[in-house]
Structure 1
Amino acid sequence: MKYKLIPFLLSFGFCGVAFGQFQQNNPGVSHGNKFEQLETILRDPNMYRSASGAPGPKYWQQKADYVINVELDEKNQRIIGSETITYTNNSPDPLTYLWLQLDENEHKASSDNQSFDGSKMAGRMTVKQLNGIIGSENDYGVNILKVVETNGNALKYTINQTMMRIELPKTLAPGGKFVFKIDWNYKITDRSTVGGRGGSEYFKDDDNYLYTITQWFPRMAVYSDFQGWQNKQFTGRGEFALTFGDYRVNITVPADHIIGATGECQNYSSVLTATQLNRWKQAQSAAEPIEVVTLADAKESMKVKSSSKKTWIYQANNVRDFAFVSSRRLVWDAMKVNVEGKEPMAMSYYCPEAYSLYRKYSTKVIANTLKVYSKHTIPYPYPVAISVEASNGMEYPMISFNYGRTEADGTYSEATKYGMIGVITHEVGHNFFPMIVNSDERQWTWMDEGLNTFCQYLAEQEFDNNYPSRRGPAHLIVDYMKMPKEQLEPIMTNSENIANFGPNAYGKPATGLNILRETIMGRELFDYAFKEYAKRWAFKHPTPADFFRTMEDASAVDLDWFWRGWFYGTDAVDISIDNISYYRMDTKNPEVENELSRKAYDDNAYVISRERNRKEGIKFANETDPSLNDFYNKWDRFAVSQADKDAFNKYYAGLNAAEKKIYDSKVNFYEIDFSNKGGLPMPIILEWTFTDGTKEVEKVPAYIWRKDENKVTKVFAKSKQMVSVKLDPYLETADIDTSNNSFPRSYEPTKFEIFKQREVIRGSSTGGNPMQEAQK
């Protein structure tokens, strides 16, 4: 064995981590598989979840209420917390223990997620990559100081990585409540080096921090009717399964910090200056964003740090989580939004580095998001929606952390602008999926990311008709769909096991829903069913089966074939036009048929030797000696005689009314052979171009493939003669090979580019900065 010395460079940039068939009924046969119902795959309906996809008559879910006191210790970079949890057992099951999540333990050196991924050396290595290989010790993770009953009696508990089991002193009966207290603390991580969704960001120039405090308190795991305790470990990818409840949170921070958080602040009068409080009151009726804390305020606070503290008090009802931002570097603007009879406050918090972009766009993007999502789901029910610029992309109830900083001169690229608008739309949109329609992200990422990305696409397109959406349109998923099968997995794959996380969990489900809406179901049926799903499962815990069943139940469209192919399989769409045969009715009319025969005769009579003989001026014998010509040299074999006309008139007169109707239509028949090369059934959409220059688009339902999933032949009747026909003319179906979509075949150049891959912040975009160039 030889060892080769390969030098590498140490890179101090961001290092992102790429996250992101079933048994056939009739195997070996080309039918009876792709169009069978999903009854053998979906979870059986019961009294908790009905066969219609709605919650059943005995549906239940647990409740967890929190009273939390938390201090942000800026000097020691720690979170210090104490909480009282009231857990209500609404299940029919007696419980002897409870499971809580300690998500900050994902950063501990001993956590499995620090070592269970493969690793390789590269020419350039980051500190994070090298530390992952070296396995250095750290003091991250939750320190549990006390777990007691309300009377002070200690509770026995066991910590297994990111999960903590508390043993109850007595069985918690159905309908019962259990109240207990936990004291804890942890070291705040630096997001730029350690990674993760929350933590701190340090600004060296002014020696200040921005804190995004998320997954920060011990919180109840979900106990449900369909899986019992959801205590799958948090490894950093599959997000959160959480229980609804009411929160009272008292947040103590340096007195010069500004707080934005889940819920409504109960004591603005004691934490804001008189001027800021007056601006806040103005913002509550403003139609344009008003700066409650101005850029000048933020810059002044950045200069001298306060040694005193303030406590901000927040109340949030019927939410599944709580997060907050804290910093003395924050500008804060706000305005009221009218959303289907409700008036939530749209608010943005951002550092000076993002001012030129966020002041112009952020709060108005929130407003657009709330309006469009509400139209397609339920009216936004919460009193607040917040966007925080934190060089990040992550969501929590009523608050989200987003991307979007400008250059030092305040300019920005078009890519940065649209990247910011897109990530704000996406993260604010998560208020609906999964903060309200509370799916289990730890199991099924697509149920929140995919559905949310689809709604993000709708909101982007209503924000700007020319918005350059990155996900949603069918053609944008083609590169992923055409990858080798061994590099793919079905959408219905657990979050931890997805290789191509973004395309699989975000892009493909969003594209599938767009195809359903625009191509398969139509907007009216789709929108009604999708809205029904949101109404049925708002503030509840839906499963994939509940979504699939509701979409069919509310629309009367059988979609099992689509769920099978698009969600449970890895087949791609590749429908090919293999052959076209043209059939023309024999009119029996000599004036028509004889002229066609004349043309065919002339075409067949063409011989290259004859043409060249004429061009050479050869003297033909029958031209120099006319005596060689007789009757047949002048005879018109295609002339129409009176006898021919009489015979046709007799034939036509003998036709009945139905026969004459078809005869007079002069229909052209085109028999087309199609093959399903990709394996995924899809409607056949054809664009016909006729000899007179007109076009016609028609659609054949996907059911045409039910009796032969590989090849079908269909005859089309057209009153005009066809020049060409094209499959999927508007790129609606994500067909991975359009070279076989035309007849006659058309060939278009495929564009390519040379690029160097680099890691970027979640939600960000890249591109030049023409704005800056113009200012030069």
Structure 2
Amino acid sequence: MKFRFHVLVAGLTAIVFGAKAQLQPSPNYKANDRFEQMGPLLPTPNTFRTASGSPGRDFFQNRADYDIKVELDDANQKIIGSETITYFNSSPDELKYIWLQLEQNLFEKGSIGGVTRTGSVNENGMSAASLSALTATGGRAGRNSGPDREYGYKITAVKDKAGKPLKYTINGTMMRIDLPTPLKTGQNFSFGVDWNYLITEYYGRSGYEYFPKDGNYNYFIAHWFPRLAAYDDVNGWQHKQFLGQGEFTLIFGNYKVAITVPNDHIVAASGECQNYKQVLTPTQQQRMQKAANAKTPVVIVTQAEAEAAEKGKPTGKKTWIYKADNVRDFAFASSRKFIWDAMQTDVYGDGKKIWSMSFYPKEGNPLWEQYSTRAVEHTLKSYGNRTFKYPYPVAISCHGTPGGGMEYPMISFNGGRPEPDGTYSEAVKAGMIGVIIHEVGHNFFPMIVNSDERQWAWMDEGLNTFCQYLAEKEWDYKFPTRRGEPNQIVDYMKSDKSVLSPIMTSSENVISLGPNAYAKPATALNILRETVMGRELFDYAFKEYANRWKFKNPTPADFFRTMEDASGVDLDWFWKGWFYGVEPVDQDLVEVDWFTVNTQNPEVEKALARAEAEAKAKTMSKIRDAATKDQTVVAQDSTMKDFYNSYDPFAVTEADKQRYQAYLASLSDEERKTLESKNNFYTLTLKNKGGLPMPVIIRMEFEDGTDSVARFPAEIWRFNDAQIQKVIATSKRVVQWTLDPFQEIADIDTDNNSFPRVSKPTRFQLFKQQSRRPTNPMQEQRPATQPPARQGGANKN
């Protein structure tokens, strides 16, 4: 629709449009709720955590130091350990007891995590393992499980420093130790625990992988020792039970760990090895020295050496000693199958070298020898540039099972395995590099920025996935990122609200953990960076958060408040919509009304009126009647004509010209400027159908082939969150309007984003095709005579 309007004079300085009146709020009007401050949704600031989002003057953290001796029983897949723990109470509270975490009890019979697992039998068939998992009364134990193997911790001793037994109570995955005397502020308490447990098959976080072809095991040992629960100003003791989904809430400390394994095993662990001279051969030590000055990975244990170990038998035991300071946890991996490569490089150009290492069986080659260690180094550099420099001496990637990944301080267990012939698809390659970046990146969140994973999965997974998305793009511009782009979260946001959880949901209660805790918060941060805040403001605030809370334990409120405090951008509406709600984004460009200024110039306006009248006269009846126009009464009888038969209403008269000159003389300078602008004025009617308010981004395509983009902050919805009108003035005529042209806001319905509407074809197949496995072009194009590509150049060292 097109309208022409007048510039009024009569003492008015504003332009008045002949458009529709401003729409009144809808019955579902919630704008004030959406754009008011979060208020009671956030905890009240105090002397522990301030309103700015930084640690307060009374902020505290307790600490626990560990001296551990552990043996891996390869014959029975068993861990046997003893530890001395020194616990430091820095809190203002007197503690009568302390709590330890026993996550291996997830696998004992009757565990809450096991008996509350739900599911159903598939009538079309199920694997024995799937059926066993559904009917199990404990955690998933694996191939060696049976009635004679009881999983979970066996605590054999709990005693004080003098060797006197301490009273303790085990409640599921938690153990309370009653102290002989209350532990006051500033005091510490030392005690010992002896334990053992049967290792489970790798379940995604820890365990073993068995290789039937050579009869060997790869061990990935984590949450393997009784360790202190967190005590802080927010929760007191954080002793939520471990149900398998919510991860770990831990405190910092210094570790000394002696790991005894078969003497043909290679060990990787958190921290720095203190006795390489005792556990490595002279040749391996020489390779370590070479790797200390290399810019590309150097193989420490070759594939040939690992294959020889696979076929041999251990002749004794060997103890690897590790030291790790100021870490929140400790994990290790051990196997005779491990190939090991490494390089020590100046990651940040500051003269401080960091070890990047990888441990993997031959089943991981050729992918692992080519990419793993380089991906480790890249991750440290990428994450460090947007947060803080990696403070630890080493970062390790271990190849654990074909898929998935898990993180611990300085070490991670990662998937990504080629086919048996050594070929792989592009998806497998990208998946492996992506999971290494993700798990190594977890060193920053939550291993250093130490969030409460048991409560808030998104604080580590979401922030880390966002940084992973950026690091993947820095690895390769064409990297097929899986999470981070707004259009990649659309299918999840379209889901029925009954199956959606807010991001701000406790980790163990989240439905669809991957989309909710990983993809949605990562996407939200990307939208903040690219669309809401801009890169400069976002990057500064994000780095400020990381530095404020490194080696401390932030809460969601600390993150929200810091991002606003450091940027000066009010984001409460964003946190409420994206993190506390489940509404999607769906903006609808309902209508565009087109207005132009009535110039009052008779030469212009009467010509336009003539053209409009002639256009209206071109009806089908008028076109057909033109053939008989000379047969009308007036045409054949001149006496039937008068003044109006020769009158031209669109002719410009002297009176018209005089009125126009008088009109011009009456205009103010501002009104004359508007009159001469020759602008087009468009009134856009927009609906917020999804409910989640977001910035309005609209592209205008002009009739001359050029285009322009207008951006309006989310506050455009603050007076009416359901429907608004916005006037846009342009000097050129717009022929096409498009909302969210660059897919920035995760709009779930793009069909209503254009005006006039643009039809999009739906593609279909003429014939139903059978499903097939993802293509592996490397395998398809390999000549049948070419040998498998298991061993590559890296193993020539």
Shared fold per TM-score greater than 0.5: yes
**Alignment equivalent of 1:153, drawn from 158, 161, 164:** 164
| Aligned pairs (5 A) from 1:52-131 | 52-122=52-122, 123-131=124-132
| Residues 368 and 612 (structure 1), Cα distance of their counterparts in 2 relative to 1, 3 Å cut | farther
**Alignment equivalent of 1:211, drawn from 207, 210, 219:** 219
Partner of 2:795: none
Partner of 1:163: 174
SS state at 1:259 partner: strand
Question: CA–CA distance in 1 between the matches of 2:721 and 2:460?
Answer: 32
Question: CA–CA distance in 2 between the matches of 1:271 and 1:757?
Answer: 51
**Alignment equivalent of 1:742, drawn from 747, 754, 759:** 754
Matching residue's letter, 2:466: F
Shift of residue 294 of structure 1?
1.3
After superposition, give the CA deviation of every residue in 1:361-386 in whole Å (9 maximum; x if it has no partner). Answer: 11111111111111111111111111
Matching residue's letter, 1:145: T
After superposition, give the CA deviation of every residue in 1:40-59 in whole Å (9 maximum; x if it has no partner). Answer: 11111111101100000110
2:188 corresponds to 1:177: yes
Question: CA–CA distance in 1 between the matches of 2:188 and 2:635?
Answer: 120
Partner of 2:10: none
| Aligned pairs (5 A) from 1:499-518 | 499-518=511-530
Contact 2:630 2:636 in 1 (8 A): no
Contact 2:29 2:721 in 1 (8 A): no
2:250 corresponds to 1:239: no
Shift of residue 642 of structure 1?
4.9
Partner of 1:381: 391
Shift of residue 681 of structure 1?
0.8
Contact 1:339 1:374 in 2 (8 A): no
Contact 1:416 1:767 in 2 (8 A): no
Matching residue's letter, 1:381: P
Partner of 2:14: none
Matching residue's letter, 2:387: T
Question: CA–CA distance in 2 between the matches of 1:49 and 1:674?
Answer: 41
SS state at 2:33 partner: coil
Contact 1:67 1:249 in 2 (8 A): yes
Question: CA–CA distance in 1 between the matches of 2:398 and 2:580?
Answer: 36
**Alignment equivalent of 1:143, drawn from 141, 150, 154:** 154
Question: CA–CA distance in 2 between the matches of 1:105 and 1:180?
Answer: 21
Question: CA–CA distance in 1 between the matches of 2:410 and 2:764?
Answer: 42
Question: CA–CA distance in 2 between the matches of 1:709 and 1:409?
Answer: 58
2:774 corresponds to 1:773: no
Question: CA–CA distance in 1 between the matches of 2:536 and 2:575?
Answer: 20
SS state at 1:57 partner: coil
Partner of 1:690: 702
Partner of 1:364: 374
**Alignment equivalent of 1:542, drawn from 523, 534, 554:** 554
| Aligned pairs (5 A) from 1:258-407 | 258-340=266-348, 341=350, 342-391=352-401, 392-407=404-419
Partner of 1:571: 583
Shift of residue 767 of structure 1?
2.6
Question: CA–CA distance in 1 between the matches of 2:554 and 2:594?
Answer: 52
Question: CA–CA distance in 2 between the matches of 1:749 and 1:241?
Answer: 50
- TM-score (ref. length: structure 2): 0.90
Contact 2:117 2:134 in 1 (8 A): no
| Aligned pairs (5 A) from 1:282-681 | 282-340=290-348, 341=350, 342-391=352-401, 392-613=404-625, 620-621=630-631, 636-681=648-693
Shift of residue 647 of structure 1?
3.9
SS state at 2:31 partner: coil
After superposition, give the CA deviation of every residue in 1:66-123 in whole Å (9 maximum; x if it has no partner). Answer: 0111111111211111111110001011111111111111111221111113221112
> Which 10-residue stretch deviates more, 36-45 or 436-445?
36-45
Matching residue's letter, 1:228: G
Shift of residue 625 of structure 1?
6.6
Question: CA–CA distance in 1 between the matches of 2:678 and 2:167?
Answer: 87
Question: CA–CA distance in 2 between the matches of 1:593 and 1:150?
Answer: 100
Partner of 2:260: 252
Matching residue's letter, 2:605: E
Shift of residue 128 of structure 1?
3.1
SS state at 1:124 partner: coil
| Aligned pairs (5 A) from 1:33-52 | 33-52=33-52
Shift of residue 585 of structure 1?
0.8
Question: CA–CA distance in 1 between the matches of 2:614 and 2:102?
Answer: 87
Matching residue's letter, 1:772: Q
Shift of residue 639 of structure 1?
3.2
SS state at 2:454 partner: coil
Shift of residue 566 of structure 1?
0.6
**C-alpha RMSD of the superposition:** 2.2
Question: CA–CA distance in 2 between the matches of 1:305 and 1:348?
Answer: 24
Question: CA–CA distance in 2 between the matches of 1:500 and 1:133?
Answer: 19
> Which 10-residue stretch deviates more, 402-411 or 51-60?
402-411
Contact 2:397 2:414 in 1 (8 A): yes
Question: CA–CA distance in 1 between the matches of 2:60 and 2:31?
Answer: 41
| Residues 752 and 548 (structure 1), Cα distance of their counterparts in 2 relative to 1, 3 Å cut | farther
SS state at 1:178 partner: strand
Contact 1:196 1:236 in 2 (8 A): no
Question: CA–CA distance in 1 between the matches of 2:56 and 2:764?
Answer: 52
SS state at 1:554 partner: helix
Question: CA–CA distance in 2 between the matches of 1:183 and 1:167?
Answer: 17
> Which 10-residue stretch deviates more, 319-328 or 137-146?
137-146
Partner of 1:763: none
Contact 1:115 1:132 in 2 (8 A): no
Question: CA–CA distance in 2 between the matches of 1:520 and 1:589?
Answer: 45
Question: CA–CA distance in 1 between the matches of 2:480 and 2:522?
Answer: 15
Partner of 1:5: none
Question: CA–CA distance in 1 between the matches of 2:305 and 2:218?
Answer: 16
After superposition, give the CA deviation of every residue in 1:541-587 in whole Å (9 maximum; x if it has no partner). Answer: 00000000000100111101111111011111111112222121111
Question: CA–CA distance in 2 between the matches of 1:504 and 1:237?
Answer: 13
Partner of 2:718: 706
Contact 2:204 2:406 in 1 (8 A): no
Contact 1:27 1:33 in 2 (8 A): no
- TM-score (ref. length: structure 1): 0.92
2:730 corresponds to 1:729: no
Contact 1:70 1:250 in 2 (8 A): yes
| Residues 757 and 100 (structure 1), Cα distance of their counterparts in 2 relative to 1, 3 Å cut | farther
SS state at 2:189 partner: strand
| Residues 432 and 475 (structure 1), Cα distance of their counterparts in 2 relative to 1, 3 Å cut | same
Partner of 1:17: none
SS state at 2:39 partner: coil
Contact 2:67 2:257 in 1 (8 A): yes
Matching residue's letter, 2:478: N
Structure 1 runs not aligned, ≥5 long: 1-25, 759-765
* Alignment: residue pair count: 739
Shift of residue 591 of structure 1?
2.4
Shift of residue 346 of structure 1?
0.9
| Residues 117 and 757 (structure 1), Cα distance of their counterparts in 2 relative to 1, 3 Å cut | farther
Identity of paired residues, percent? 55
| Residues 324 and 466 (structure 1), Cα distance of their counterparts in 2 relative to 1, 3 Å cut | same
